[in-house]
Amino acid sequence: MTKSVVTRFAPSPTGYLHIGGARTALFNWAYARAKGGKFLLRIEDTDRERSTQGAIDAILSGLNWLGLEPDEAPLFQSKQQARHVEVAEQLLASGHAYRSYADDSEVEAIRQKARADGVAARYPGRDEPIAEQFIEQSVVRFKAPIDGETVIDDEVQGQVSIRNDQLDDLVLLRSDGTPTYMLAVVVDDHDMGITHVIRGDDHLTNAAKQIQIYQALSWDVPVFAHIPLIHGADGAKLSKRHGALGVEAYQAMGYLTEALRNYLARLGWSHGDEEIISTEQLIEWFDIQGINKSPARFDMAKLDHVNGHYIRESEPAVVISEVKSLLEMCEDELNLPFKAEQIDYKKLQASFPFLKERAKTLIELLETAAYLFAERPVALSEKAETILSGDGAGEILGAVVERLSGLDQWEKDNIEQGLKAFSVEKELKFGKIAPLLRCSLTGSTVSPGIYDILLSLGRDESLSRIQDQLSR
């Protein structure tokens, strides 16, 4: 019987949850779910100076928004300090670690020399105890093996061997007695019962060092899977310009969590030719075998496409409530042509079926819905102005209002038939009529279909808006 899977996401709280971290979390989450295991969260705050509460909150809310809830309360690495020290002492006692002291210039010289020799650095204290007077200010270093090699059996990268003379004697305990990352991950992963470590491949070399620590402790080594990093659109490392934003930035840009999740899952992982993958399918299909070895670039255009798909496929009520929380979260930054308080959500939802066809993001949805909440008289765009001042525009519009107001019922079929009949009677191509209506009703030359607009605005508002233009 095999152990049940336990994965973890272990961010260091020095910034927001960026897109690469989000994908790592997603993979860990998906793998645990796929295998019926557990997904845990550990906050790696051993660097007390750079860790902030704000970052912790951002990570938590980011995960929450993505729906990647850990199965247990998050573990804070800083709270495990006593245990880390205990293990370091155990290593010291078993001869797998040593106390070392050297001032900055000595350390620098040692490194220079090691570098020139093409081998990893070893430090004073490794072979002989250091002088008593330095114990107080010493660090505890791992006594890494020199001969042989360390092999990482990576589920993604394959078998990777690194000669032991390339792996240096890393610090386990700082001179102030606090544990370093390298010690803490090993101890915590072990203590938390982590079976699978899925993380960015910037940790690949670290894995070798960690394996040495596991071995020194006679602990089982977890399964490693080092996934390639995400790059920006230009192939360079992710920067703010192209994607290294916090996940909440994507929320603010109007992306749906299902869409971002789908896109992220598909970035570096695949299941045949599948593109649109629901959460259920992801859980059913996800496996480390499907993860790619090469780095992927972040492509906003594709994210847009996926998002547009989810907007069209989702339940209206669901999307509308997303819009609502988006506005509550950051209306000020959105730069909309109207105020959130002007929104009539009932109207918005009723119009959703035709609004969704032209929206790739929630922001675009709101933008095309703007005409619904515009105040009379509707402001005209430059192009709309031109069209409404064209030859015979007023005349046609006048006749149209008359016809429309004579309609006994304000329903789609009615309106359509009325307008078509009008077009035939007046011997006017529909292309002569529709633009005038569109401009006077929305102030723009781009909008949803004319019948949809008329219907969604309602009889009174529609007629009034046209009148506004006639009496200009």
Please select the residue that binds RNA; options are 292, 386, 409, 417, rule is CB under 7 A: 292
Which CB sits closer to RNA, 358 or 426? 358
Does 160 bind RNA (CB under 7 A)? Our answer is: yes
Q: Which amino acid is at 79?
A: K
The correct pick among 296, 340, 363, 387 for binding RNA (CB under 7 A) is: 296
**Looking at the DSSP assignment, which residues form a beta bridge with residue 368?**
none
Residue type, 414: N
Sequence-distant (6+) residues with CB within 8 A of 179 are: 46, 81, 84, 85, 88, 172, 173, 187
Please, which residue, 144 or 323, has the CB nearer to RNA?
144
Measured distance CA(61)–CA(68) in Å, rounded: 10
Of 77 and 251, the one with the shorter C-beta distance to RNA is: 77
Task: Please pick, from the candidates 273, 328, 375, 427, the single residue that binds RNA as defined by CB under 7 A.
Answer: 273
Question: Given the rule CB under 7 A, which of 66-74, 116-124, 242-250, 324-332 is the region that contacts RNA?
Answer: 116-124
DSSP secondary-structure letter at 42?
Answer: E
Among 236, 317, 330, 421, binds RNA (CB under 7 A): 236
The 3-state DSSP class for residue 176 equals coil
Would you say 217 and 87 are in contact if contact means Cβ atoms under 8 Å apart? yes
Residue 455: phi and psi, rounded to 5, are -70, -45
Closest CB 113 distance from RNA, rounded Å:
11
Subset of residues 18 to 57 that bind RNA, contact rule: CB under 7 A? 44, 46-47, 50
Size of the site for RNA (CB under 7 A): 82
Shortest gap between Cβ of 462 and RNA (angstroms)? 14
* 3-class secondary-structure state, position 156: coil
**Interface with RNA, residue 109, by CB under 7 A:** no
60, 107, 146, 329: which one binds RNA (CB under 7 A) = 107
Is 140:84 a contact under the CB 8 Å cutoff? no
Rule CB under 7 A: which of 123-142 touch RNA? 137, 139
How far is Cα 423 from Cα 223, in angstroms, rounded to an integer?
Answer: 72
Of 26-34, 294-302, 317-325, 462-470, which segment contacts RNA by CB under 7 A?
Answer: 294-302
Instruction: Between 311 and 343, name the residue whose CB sits nearer to RNA.
Output: 311
Q: Which of residues 69-98 bind RNA (CB under 7 A)?
A: 77
Residues near 317 by Cβ (< 8 Å), separated by ≥ 6? 349
Q: Identify residues 171-210 at the interface with RNA (CB under 7 A).
A: 171, 174-176, 180-182, 201-206
Residue 167 in tokens: 């792996």
Q: Which of 150, 157, 257, 456 binds RNA (CB under 7 A)?
A: 157
- Closest distance of CB 53 from RNA, Å: 16
Please, what is the minimum distance in Å from the beta carbon of residue 71 to RNA? 21
Residues 422 and 436 sit within 8 Å (Cβ to Cβ):
no
- The nearer residue to RNA, 224 or 373, going by C-beta atoms, is 224
139-142 and 38-43: which strand pairing? unpaired
Find out whether 159 and 151 touch, Cβ atoms under 8 Å.
yes
Binder of RNA out of 83, 126, 163, 347 (CB under 7 A): 163
The interface region with RNA, picked from 124-132, 161-169, 250-258, 325-333 by CB under 7 A, is 161-169
Minimal CA–CA distance to 155: which of 210, 207, 220? 207
Residue 433 makes CB contacts below 8 A (sequence gap 6+) with 396, 400, 419, 422, 423
Closest CA to 71 of 40, 94, 102: 40
Tell me if 170 contacts RNA by CB under 7 A.
Answer: yes
Cβ-based nearer residue to RNA, 5 or 130: 130
> Which of 106/331 has CB closer to RNA?
106
Q: Which is nearer to RNA, 161 or 389 (CB)?
A: 161
DSSP string over 75-114: EEGGGGHHHHHHHHHHHHHTTSEEEE---HHHHHHHHHHH
**Which range of residues in 66-74, 265-273, 277-285, 337-345 is near RNA by CB under 7 A?**
265-273
Site residues (CB under 7 A) for RNA, limited to 407-446: 430-431, 434-435, 438, 445-446
Binding mask 322-361 for RNA (x = CB under 7 A): -----------------------------------xx---
281: CB partners within 8 A, 6+ apart: 271, 274
Q: Which of 18, 19, 17, 25 is nearest to 199 (CA)?
A: 25
CA atoms within 13 A on the CB side of 46: 24
Q: Which residues have a catalytic role annotated?
A: 240
